[in-house]
Amino acid sequence: MSVIREDLNKCIGCRTCLTICPMDVFRFNEKARKSVIAYPDNCQSCGQCYVNCPVRSLAMQNWDMSQEITNYR
Ligand code: SF4
Ligand code: SF4
């Protein structure tokens, strides 16, 4: 379970995912003006990048939000 790319074309290069990720998973491709999932193995599946990406360019692999919520109840 980790972050995956839903649609790279959607990425507007806002860098929110780079700023918000506590595990330093992302890098930035200056030429393409898009983020890069550079270190997916470091992802702790906190979901912050996914939730805060303004254009849903990212997705969570095997992430069941309803299950997560249930687990915290
Ligand atoms: S899910 Fe969390 S740890 Fe994984 S890449 Fe996104 S912000 Fe970083
Ligand atoms: S938060 Fe979304 S739009 Fe912004 S750089 Fe990351 S993937 Fe691209």
Query: In CATH, what number is assigned to the domain containing residue 56?
Result: 3.30.70.20
66 Cα–ligand 1 center, Å: 18
What range defines the domain where residue 35 resides? 3-72
pLDDT for position 62: 77
pLDDT for position 42: 97
Is the full-model pTM beyond 0.75?
yes
Contact between residue 24 and residue 39 where contact means Cβ atoms under 8 Å apart = yes
Q: Considering its fold, how many domains does the chain have in total? A: 1
Cβ–ligand 1 contact at 3 (below 6 Å): yes
Q: What is the block-wise mean pLDDT of the chain (73 residues), using blocks of 10 residues?
A: 94 98 98 98 96 97 64 51
Query: Counting atoms of ligand 2 from 1, which one is nearest the CA of 14?
Result: 4
pLDDT for position 21: 98
Cα separation, 43 vs 2, in Å, equals 6
At 4, phi and psi to the nearest 5? -135, 165
At 47, phi and psi to the nearest 5? 85, 0
